Chain A
Amino acid sequence: MAQIEFQDVSLAYGGGGGVTGVDLTVEDGEFVALLGPSGSGKTTLLRLVGGFLRPDRGAVLIGGEPVAGPKAWVPPEKRRLGMVFQYHAVWPHRSVASNVEYPLRLAKVGRSEREERVREALSLVGLEGFEHRAPETLSGGQRQRVALARALVMQPAALLLDEPFASLDAALRARLRAELSALVRRTGVTVVHVTHDRTEALALADRVAVLHEGRLVQVDEPRRLYSAPATPFVARFVSDAALLRVRARGAGRFALEGGNEFEVENIPEHGGSGPGTLAVRPQDIRLEPGGEGRVRAVLFMGDTQEVVVGWRGHELRVQAPADARYRLGEAVRPVFGRGVFFPDG
């Protein structure tokens, strides 16, 4: 178990995916998710920890020891890390046991201890008795568990997860997610988890680091990330907020470009006045009958429904109760319950 530290790390990359000036500390035993759209640099950060990329500038430290930096370089095989890849990188020519024991074999662990630890690791991921199965006879979820057992068998300094559930179907993804959460709490291992799925990041992580165009834009606990986004980008990416260009008039009153005024009932952290961006989440908008808004689409989601409303040249996504009925073209009036204001500059 160890702390992982990025110190002012930069890596330029041809064609996107580079990172610039990243400072981040993942504490010992902490679960941090790196969240961002594709090309934001989150996989690059993970591969910098793994040792598959070398930073142009800055340093990467594992357990306080520099593993990459101006003077330091430790190759991947010496970093004592466990990693699970998106496409379950389980070796097809080795049995389950032989996959899991491979790191022990390289570390020259004796045979009886190897068998014991393989059994433990397999039982940890719920694959008791699968030792002699061939990977091709396993389902996608089982293969991913084998990869997880292999990553954990050496009691690594940290566990790196690169979109580990992306190739699984939705139901299986949800189940493995819950299992993973319980498992890492039980083992206390430090985890860095890369994902573009915000639900996954919010559900699993102690802290979420949001990346945008190669820079860290916010590192926070899931609840804070959700309620207090640091930038309009975070608000839209994490909570689907609508972004409105406005001028703040004070006391919860805002004017759209073109002069139309409207009111927001609750503005946390008064951001000041003047021009800026107002972010409003779908669940913070209510619809009342009559008004300038027009219903453009209704998407039934089961426990709620998503109503898309055209309003004063903007498109608002509104999370409405499932029992309300809306017709296409119906006139509605959006009422803004809560918004976050980001003044320009």
Chain B
Amino acid sequence: MGESYQPEPGGFRAARYLVLAVLLGLVAVPVLALLWRGARPELLAGLNSPQVREATVNSLVTSGISALVATAFGAGLALLIERTDVPARNFFRAAFFLPFLIPPFIGAIGWLAVFGPVGYVNVLYNNATGSSEGLVNLYGPGGIIALLALHAYPITYLMTAAALRGVPGSLEEAARASGAGRLRMVRDVTLPYIYPALLAGFILLFVSNLSDFGIPALLGLPVQYQVLPTLIYSYLVGGTTENPLGAASALGTVLLAVGAAAFLLQRHLFRRVSSDAEGRAQPVALGRSRYPVTAMLGAVAFLFAVAPVLALLVGALLRAPGVPLTPENLTLANIERAVLAPATVRGFVNSFVLATGAALLCGVIGALVATLVVRTRNRLNGSIDTLALIPQALPGTVVAVAWILTGIPLGIYNTRSIILFAYVMAFVALVVQAVRGSVAGVPVVLEEAAQLSGASPLRALRDVTLPLAAPAVVVGSGLVFFTAIRELTVSALLVAPGTETLGVVIFNLHQAGAFNASTALALVVALGGLLGVGAMALATRGRGVYGAD
């Protein structure tokens, strides 16, 4: 039964009001400030300029197509790796997950090292053919779409794999027993099970690609291809318009509307298909195509996961861009110089402080929100949940503009605090989502047993549920830390001299043409991220969620 109709003790009420007040300040106030400043008829009318129309179309085209490509690719990949007898499954899982661990703008720097105008492929091609036109041109919409899709598909993969694990084997076996072949079974039983996940995944990717700043900034700005986040950046940083804050607010309002609509749509559409049927699904035999398929997967995995990291590595170790790859041309000096530069050190310290602060604050707020929403019944719970989760649907650019508008009257504009608050707003949902499932997975009877032993409801929560949910809080906070320390989109608009983050330092170096230095730092960030995530995975292994049986 699991429901408790006992009167709620006072501690819960106090915690609820506290959390609500914090979320109102961190989420509702900035969003309302943005709407108040941006949703004005004269400003929105000003959006009807060719420049804005073009950026809007570009945004919709690049994020729509890249989300579609990523969804199809991620789902196909998940079906192949998770549901067939393809060998070396764990290797493929890890390799294809790698692009997700590298921040998009870092990945873009790596891909430019492979396919950019002076990247290896084009240099080799030009040397061989004597042509001055490159073979591949990453700049412009094509490259933006490709890279957005590349960094997004692992999300679809994860969602599809989770949905596939939920397909009961007995349902598939029933289809086979009824006379369906392997493909027919996948089409009639397996796919209907994962459609909701695919749809939800597509919307999620669309919003997240719409929000991305790093890839279009690196691949679009050099050829004057603008999308909404880069246009806002140009307004605020480039001083290309007379009322930059007003124009940015109006654009931010539009982005906010798109993000919120997608969030609500996804919530509405995402219904888990459920069944009482049980059993693990058997892998589908690939038969004669097993080895060709494996070879193809291997080649793609090498291209996606290994090539850009390898390119970063080589680019960072070469004495100068474009010199031949020979042992005497390799040096650690670039990395050393880039890492020890005062700007880098400052950026790293700033990012470290900000990421640590954001992880701690998000951990506390997220754990409280998740516990209240799962364990208590109250009219305010819905509002708390929505306030905590909705920033996830807001493009980072929107969060940044909203905090500029909030921070100026508060006098925290141009300080590190404004970046910290923006990070907490943007990332608290990561902790809420990580902890919510974990708290829900702790059976209520465990708390009831503590109460009958003489513990008050709050004491029962502290002694039983908190220790059991702690690993999830650590994972959620760790996720916030790793996201924040490599973050670019939000801080790009909020930094001031002295408060630059690591991401902004690398971005500025690249924009200034210091490719050696930016590549070296990108390599450090990429490898650091991989090590960090690996360490976190190891640390939390075996401390799973409590299972009732």
- Residues in chain A within 8 A of chain B (CB atoms): 17, 43-44, 47, 50-54, 73, 75-83, 85-87, 89, 91-93, 102-103, 106-107, 147, 150-151, 154, 160, 167
Contacts and interface: CB of A to CB of B under 8 A. Distances in A.
A44 B3 CA distance: 11
B453 A93 contact: no
Contacts of B21: none
Given A77-B452, A77-B456, A87 B6 contact: no
17 contacts: A17-B1, A53-B6, A75-B451, A75-B457, A76-B448, A76-B452, A77-B452, A77-B453, A82-B452, A85-B449, A91-B446, A91-B449, A91-B450, A102-B453, A103-B453, A106-B459, A151-B452
Given A43-B1, A47-B1, A52-B5, A93 B454 contact: no
Contacts of B446: 89, 91
Nearest to A82: B452
B455 A52 contact: no
Interface string B283-307: 0000000000000000000000000
Given A43-B1, A75-B456, A87-B443, A52 B448 contact: yes
Contact of A103 (B1, B5, B454, B467): B454
Contact of B463 (A79, A83, A102): A102
Contacts of B548: 87
Interface of B: 1, 4-7, 9, 443, 445-446, 448-457, 459-460, 463-464, 467-468, 546, 548-549
B448 A54 contact: no
Given A73-B7, A87-B445, A79 B455 contact: no
A78 B459 CA distance: 13
B7 A54 contact: yes
Given A53-B6, A77-B455, A102-B463, A83 B450 contact: no
Contacts of B453: 77, 102-103, 106, 150, 154
A87 B446 CA distance: 9
Given A89-B446, A102-B455, A106-B454, 20 more contacts: A17-B1, A44-B1, A52-B4, A52-B448, A54-B6, A75-B6, A75-B9, A75-B451, A76-B452, A79-B452, A80-B454, A81-B452, A83-B449, A89-B448, A91-B450, A93-B467, A103-B453, A150-B449, A151-B452, A167-B549
Given A75-B6, A89-B446, A50 B455 contact: no
A91 B449 CA distance: 9
Contacts of B455: 77, 102, 106
A77 B453 CA distance: 6
A102 B455 CA distance: 9
Contacts of A167: 549
B449 A147 contact: yes
Contacts of A93: 467-468
Nearest to A53: B5
Contacts of A107: 454
Given A51-B6, A87-B549, A103-B454, A92 B448 contact: no
A54 B4 CA distance: 9
A15 to B, nearest CB: 10
Contacts of A77: 451-457, 459-460
A50 B463 CA distance: 20
Contacts of B7: 54, 73, 75
B429 to A, nearest CB: 27
Contacts of A52: 4-6, 448, 451
Nearest to A140: B549
- 8 A-B pairs with least C-beta separation: A103-B453, A106-B454, A89-B445, A76-B451, A89-B449, A85-B445, A87-B548, A93-B467
A50 B464 contact: no
Given A75-B6, A103-B454, A106-B454, A92 B445 contact: no
Contacts of B4: 52-53
A150 B448 CA distance: 13
Contacts of B457: 75, 77
Contact of A85 (B448, B456, B467): B448
B263 to A, nearest CB: 30
B450 A102 contact: yes
Nearest to B449: A89
Contacts of A81: 452
B535 to A, nearest CB: 23
Contacts of A47: 1
A150 B546 CA distance: 20
A151 B453 CA distance: 8
A103 B1 CA distance: 24
Nearest to B547: A92
Contacts of B468: 91-93
Given A73-B7, A75-B6, A87-B443, A50 B454 contact: no
Contact of A76 (B6, B445, B463, B546): B6
Given A17-B1, A53-B5, A83 B448 contact: yes
Contacts of A154: 453-454
Nearest to B460: A77
